[in-house]
Amino acid sequence: MAKQKSYRVGFDLGGTKMMAAVFDADFEITGRRRRKTKGQQGAEAGLERIVQTIEQALDEAGVEAAQLAGIGVGSPGPLDLNRGVMLDLPNVGWRDVPLRDTLQKHFGCPVAVANDVDTGLFGEYRFGAAKGARCAVGVFPGTGIGGGCVYEGRLMRGAMLSCMEIGHMNVVPDGQLCGCGRRGCLETVASRLAIASAAAAAAYRGEAPHLFEKAGADLTRIRSGALADAMAAGDEAVERIVRNAVEWLGAAMANVVNLLTPDVIVLGGGLVEAMPDLFVDGVRTVLDERVMPSFVGSYEVRAAALGDDATVRGAAALAAETA
């Protein structure tokens, strides 16, 4: 008798780390494996590493590939959603990687590939902070700023590509150059990289002594936790910088509210995890000041609830719905 196909794998292909999680029919995790991406090995070796990571998670769960009903993958960077191809994986150098076909051929089950922010928000919609929402918008400030939208149970997407690139909304005409090649994007004023750059300058000038003592003016050491600790220790300059970024984030989100009137706005990522009240309360305040008066009070702003599991949970749930 054939074994029932009742398990699904959710896979989070982060820029530097990847994680596979095996879910049973009730979406409980039965096995998990996390590894470094090691993109310098090239795309072919990277695909092999992805396959191995999934196999190791299956081994931990005691599940055979024949029992898989589907695999869902959340990947950063631009994707061809129709073909399941990673067009360009940022910071790793993989291009035109046939992710869906490779996994389908190896594991013999359907594979769904989506943007990692989309799958993270879908996880929050199915199991976390946006559960039951009619329209949920997610914003995840980190090195960049990712965005996603679930509308009436379905991820909003383009004909071929993912959408909701909130981080690349133009908020400062002729502003700073963004990594995307355009000027004035939200990421240039509200991402963790933008915040850390301004905080490093403040530390170097002697305006943030606690931050300087802990991290110096080294961008690689000024992480979300270091910023939160500096604020708690009394670095007013750091707090001004962070609050200014929250203002920009709220202003951009006000435009999104005016377009979509979401009933739930989910804020996630390392910055929000380190300073949830500041971001949630700050964005809510700006929204109330900037959206159309009739929209005030029509939304809730919530911190993400699932942490690192959001993407794998959302990817597995997406695989269940698209397989």
What is the tens place of the pLDDT at every residue in 212-226?
A: 999 999 999 999 999
Asked if 150 and 38 sit in the same domain, the reply is no
pLDDT (mean) for 235-241: 98
In Å, what is the CA distance from 38 to each residue of 21, 48, 61, 91, 250? Answer: 19, 11, 24, 11, 35
Asked if 173 and 237 sit in the same domain, the reply is yes
Average pLDDT of the chain is 94
In a domain? residue 281: yes
Tokens of 22: 């095996």
Q: What is the CATH number of the domain that holds 241?
A: 3.30.420.40
Which pLDDT score is estimated for 209? 97
pLDDT (mean) for 187-191: 97
Strand order in the sheet with 300-303: 154-155, 145-151, 135-141, 264-267, 300-303
Which pLDDT score is estimated for 322? 78
Asked if 173 and 110 sit in the same domain, the reply is no
Q: Is 124 helix (H, G, I), strand (E, B) or coil?
A: helix
CA torsion, ordered 113, 71, 49, 145, to nearest 10 deg: 40
- The band of 37, judged by pLDDT with boundaries at 50, 70 and 90, is confident
Asked if 252 and 141 sit in the same domain, the reply is yes
In a domain? residue 1: no
Residue type at 142? G
Q: Which domain holds residue 177?
A: 132-304
Q: Output the pTM of the full model.
A: 0.94
Residue type at 203? A
Asked if 173 and 317 sit in the same domain, the reply is no
Asked if 142 and 266 sit in the same domain, the reply is yes
The answer to whether residue 1 scores a pLDDT higher than 80 is: no
The domain tally of the chain equals 2
In a domain? residue 89: yes
pLDDT (mean) for 262-281: 97
For the chain, how many helices (H) and strands (E)? 11, 13
pLDDT (mean) for 228-246: 98
- The band of 39, judged by pLDDT with boundaries at 50, 70 and 90, is low
Which pLDDT score is estimated for 91? 65
Residues 6+ away with beta carbon under 8 Å from 66: 2, 3, 5, 108
In a domain? residue 2: no
The answer to whether residue 2 scores a pLDDT higher than 80 is: no
Asked if 161 and 290 sit in the same domain, the reply is yes
Asked if 139 and 263 sit in the same domain, the reply is yes
- Measure CA 248 to chain center: 19
Asked if 40 and 189 sit in the same domain, the reply is no
Contact assessment for residue 60 and residue 21, using Cβ atoms and an 8 Å cutoff: no
- The band of 3, judged by pLDDT with boundaries at 50, 70 and 90, is low
